[in-house]
Structure 1
Amino acid sequence: MVESLKEERKVTMAKKTTIKEVVNEKDSQLREEKYNQYVKQMTPKHSWLLNLLKAYLVGGIICTIGQAIMNMYLKMGDMKQDTASAYTSLTLVLISVILTGFNIYQKLAKFGGAGTVVPITGFANSVAAPAVEYQKEGQVFGIGCKIFTIAGPVILYGIFSSWFLGVIYYIFRLFTK
C-alpha cells in the first residue's frame, strides 16, 4: 500500500502540474508537494554566467559613453576635469531620464540587469520611472508622492550611513590625537 502511494506521487510529480490541480488537491502534504512542483516548473531558468556577461557589457557600454562625453567636454575648450565630470554626470542623467520617458531604459534594464542599475543612469531611472508612471494621478498625489518611492530609501540610508560613519570618525580622531 505504501509503495503504491509512493509510486503514485512519483508519477504525479513527473507530469506537469497545473494550478487547478494544486488548488483541488485535498491531501495537504500532496498539495504542498504539487505546489512546490508547480512553482519549480513555472520559475524561469536563468544562466548566471549569461546574466553576468550581459550586465558587464551594458554597464561597460554606459561607462564608455560617459567617458566619451567627458572627453568631448574636455576638448571643447578650457574646461577643468572636475567641471567636465559634473557636466558628464548631468548629461548621463538627462539621457537616462529621456530614455525612461520613452520606455527604452526599462527594456535596456531588462536585458542588462545590474549593468544598468549601478551607474548614475540607474539612479536617474529610479527617480524618473515613478514620475512617468504616476503622472496621471496629478502633480501632488501622483508625481509628488511617488517620485522617491524607489530612490528615497537609497537617499535616506546613504545620508544616515554617512552621518554615522562621520560620528565614528570624529570619535576616533578625538582619541588618536
Structure 2
Amino acid sequence: MSDHLNKLTKEKYGEMSDRYSKKSGIVKNCAMAFIFGGIICMIAQAYYDILMSRAAASIFGTISEENGKALTVMFMVFLGVLLTALNVYDEIGSIAGAGTIVPITGFANSITSPAMEYRSEGFILGVGAQMFQVAGPVIVYGTAASVIAGFIYYLIK
C-alpha cells in the first residue's frame, strides 16, 4: 500500500495538479494589473494636481513641488493602510493582481497586513517581529541594488 501511494504521488501528481488547477489567463491578468495599477497612479496624480492647484494654494499656502510629491507619497501610503485595515485592499488585489502590488500602496499593504494579523501575539513578538516579514527582503535588496547602482553611476560620471 505504501509503495502504491508513493508511486501514485510521484507519477500522477503533475497530471492531477494540471487537471484540478485553475487555469490563469496571462493576457487577462496583465491587462487587469495594467488597468488597476494605472488607476492607482491616476489617483496619486489627481491628488498631486489638487495639492498644486491655486485652490489648494489659497487654503494651505503655496506648496513646493518637492513637498507636493512627498505629501502625495504619504497620502498613497495612508490610502494603502486604510484600505488594508478595512479589508478592501485584498479584495481589490484578488481582481487586480500585480497592479496593486507594484505601487507604494502595495508596500503599505505588505507592512500593514502582517501587523494586523499578528497583533494578538503582542507588540514585540507579534507586530514588531512579523511586520516586515514580506517587506523586509524588499527593503534589503532594494537598498543593496541602490548602493550598487549608485556606485556604478559614480564610476561612470
**5 Å matches for 1:156-167?**
156-167=140-151
Query: After superposition, where does 1:25-174 map in structure 2 within 5 Å?
Result: 26=4, 31-75=9-53, 76-77=56-57, 78-170=62-154, 172=155
Number of aligned residue pairs: give it: 151
Gaps of 5+ in 1: 1-22
Q: 1:84 to 1:31 in 2, by over 3 A?
A: closer
Distance 1:40 1:31 in 2: 14
Task: Output the amino acid matched with 2:38.
Answer: G
SS in 2 for 1:79: coil
Q: Work out whether residues 25 and 31 of structure 1, in 8 Å CA contact, stay in contact via their aligned partners in 2.
A: no
Higher RCO (CA 8 Å, separation ≥ 6 residues): 2
* TM-score normalized with structure 2 length: 0.87
- Give TM-score scaled by structure 1 length: 0.78
| Structure 2: gaps (5+ residues) | none
Q: Percent identity of the aligned residues?
A: 38
Partners of 2:66 and 2:19 lie apart in 1 by: 52
How far does the alpha carbon of each residue in 1:85-121 deviate from its partner, in whole angstroms, 9 at most, with x for none?
1111101110110110111101111110111111111
- For residues 93 and 31 of structure 1, the distance between their equivalents in structure 2, rounded to whole angstroms, comes to 45
Work out whether residues 93 and 121 of structure 1, in 8 Å CA contact, stay in contact via their aligned partners in 2: yes
Q: Is the 1:54–1:111 Cα contact (8 Å) retained in structure 2?
A: yes
Q: Residue 38 and residue 89 in structure 1: after superposition, are their counterparts in 2 closer, same or farther (change >3 A)?
A: same
Other structure's SS at 1:44 match: coil
Query: Matched residue of 1:117: which SS?
Result: coil
Larger radius of gyration: 1
Q: Is contact 1:55–1:114 with CA below 8 Å preserved after alignment?
A: yes
Give, in whole Å, the separation in 2 of the partners of 1:33 and 1:148.
Answer: 39
Cα offset, 1:28, TM superposition: 5.7
The AA in structure 2 aligned to 1:165 is A
Given that 1:69 and 1:88 are in contact with CA atoms closer than 8 Å, whether structure 2 keeps it comes out as yes
